[in-house]
């Protein structure tokens, strides 16, 4: 199954929530959706979940318009919103049973289906617990089980790790990996970028409704590297003097002390870096370590976004 988003635009009055957003998700792919608060992540997800309608543009599921055939989309899309279930006086099992009924799953299939989902999300032992008594992590697992009840091929997860403790986050991450391995395409938004980087195949960076970067994680980070490179230098002594010396060298854009290291932004390619190292050694600085600072999703995110909201 392929979910293709084409030129989505969404205006609320004169406020532009989405501006020409296009991307696609394939089966088995985990795509991280990254952006500051108010960037348009939830709006995109709500449109894909058929809960909202774009001002223009479309989303296609294997070529079928989601806007024109929302009922077909609902059959193959699962949605985990950024809030947790709030029903009172109902057990986990009854809650899942309710949604199974709501999806029109018949009695004969319902029981075994719920049981297998409870096993998958590790809820079997607590299935008779009231929803209101659950921790955030447990509620998130219930929410995931609920989203999977109709066996969707595409899963939209809006900030699923928000507020979870480290253990619950790790468990959730594992579940997401297993689901992707089963061939489900997953669009997942999160503020915990290091975690996203660990599980995602690709990422979308959005701000003020505009898609700033999209592609595989390697592509995104490589694109950042191409603009310039950051190098970390560790010297045995005279680090502050090295910073002063670096600032006077040609091709050096910036230099600063970061803990014991000296971080320097250099213009140019690997030859420029090699020339810089030669010059530092020539000037007698005792270099202990000289390595490029690895660019990661977090760094890219900080570089390309300004933190603006609309």
Partner 1 sequence: MNLLERALTRLDDALNPIVVKELRQAVQGKFITGILILFLFFQIGTLGFSLIDRAAASNFELGRETFTVLMMFVLLAGTLAVPIYSGYRFATERSDLDSDLLFITTITPAAIIRGKFQAAMAIVLLFYAVSLPYMTITYFFRGIDLLSIFWVVVFSLSGVVLNLSICLFIACLPLNFPLRVMIGLCALIPLFWVFGGSVAMVSEFLRMGIGARVLSWAFWRDLFPSVLLFGFGLGLLYVLSVAAIAPAPTNRAYGIRRFVSAFWALSLLGMTFYAANGGGSQALGGWIIFATLVFSAFLPVAVSERTWCGRRVARTIPGDALGRRLAFLFYSGAAGGLIWALTFMVLTHVVPVFALPVIGATNFGSSFEHDREGVIILALYTLGYSLLGALVRRLFLADRVPVASTWFLALLLAGLGGAVPPILGFILFGSDREEWLLGNPLLALQSTAWRESCLLFAAGFAGVLLLVNLPWMKSQWEQFRPYGDEEPPPDGEDAPALPV
Question: Is 7 a residue that touches partner 1 (CB under 8 A)?
Answer: yes
Question: Is 308 a residue that touches partner 1 (CB under 8 A)?
Answer: no
Question: Is 107 a residue that touches partner 1 (CB under 8 A)?
Answer: yes
Question: Is 151 a residue that touches partner 1 (CB under 8 A)?
Answer: no
Give the C-alpha distances (Å, rounded to integers) separating 138 from 92, 96, 102: 10, 14, 22
Residues 13-52 that bind partner 1 (CB under 8 A): 13-14, 22-26, 28-29, 31, 46, 49-52
User: Whole-number minimum distance, CB 287 to partner 1, in Å?
Assistant: 38
Residues 53-72 that bind partner 1 (CB under 8 A): 53, 56-58, 60, 65, 67-68, 70-71
Residues near 62 by beta carbon (within 8 Å), at least 6 away in sequence: 1, 2
Q: Give the position of tokens 């999977």.
A: 148
Question: Is 88 a residue that touches partner 1 (CB under 8 A)?
Answer: yes
Question: Is 306 a residue that touches partner 1 (CB under 8 A)?
Answer: no
Residues near 286 by beta carbon (within 8 Å), at least 6 away in sequence: 235, 236, 237, 238
User: Whole-number minimum distance, CB 199 to partner 1, in Å?
Assistant: 13
**Residues near partner 1, by CB under 8 A:** 2, 4-7, 13-14, 22-26, 28-29, 31, 46, 49-53, 56-58, 60, 65, 67-68, 70-71, 74, 77, 79, 81, 83-91, 94, 97-99, 101-104, 106-108, 130, 146, 150, 201-202, 204, 214-216, 219
């Amino acid at each position: 199954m392929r979910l293709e988003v084409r030129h989505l635009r969404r205006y609320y009055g004169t406020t532009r929530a989405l501006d020409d957003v296009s991307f696609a998700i394939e089966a088995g792919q985990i795509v991280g959706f990254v952006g500051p608060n108010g960037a348009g992540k939830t709006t995109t997800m709500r449109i894909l979940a058929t809960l909202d309608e774009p001002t223009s543009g479309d989303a296609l599921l294997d070529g079928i318009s989601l806007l024109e055939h929302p009922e077909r989309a609902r059959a193959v899309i699962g949605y985990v919103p950024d809030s947790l279930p709030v029903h009172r006086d109902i057990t986990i099992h009854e809650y899942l049973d309710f949604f199974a009924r709501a999806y029109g799953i018949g009695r004969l299939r319902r029981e075994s289906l719920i049981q297998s989902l409870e096993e998958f999300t590790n809820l079997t032992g607590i299935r008779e617990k009231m929803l209101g008594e659950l921790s955030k992590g447990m509620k998130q697992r219930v929410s995931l089980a609920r989203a999977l009840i109709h066996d969707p091929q595409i899963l939209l997860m809006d900030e699923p790790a928000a507020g979870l403790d480290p253990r619950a986050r790790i468990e959730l991450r594992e579940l997401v990996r297993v689901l992707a391995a089963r061939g489900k395409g997953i669009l997942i938004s999160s503020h915990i970028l290091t975690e996203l980087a660990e599980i995602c195949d690709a990422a979308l960076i959005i701000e003020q409704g505009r898609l700033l970067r999209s592609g595989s994680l390697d592509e995104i980070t490589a694109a950042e590297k191409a603009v310039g490179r950051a190098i970390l230098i560790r010297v045995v002594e005279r680090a502050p003097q090295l910073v002063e010396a670096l600032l006077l060298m040609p091709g050096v854009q910036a230099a600063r002390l970061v803990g014991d290291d000296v971080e320097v932004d250099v213009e140019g390619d690997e030859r420029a870096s090699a020339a810089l190292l030669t010059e530092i050694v020539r000037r007698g600085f005792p270099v202990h370590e000289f390595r490029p600072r690895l660019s990661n999703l977090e760094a890219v995110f900080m570089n390309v976004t300004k933190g603006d909201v609309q």
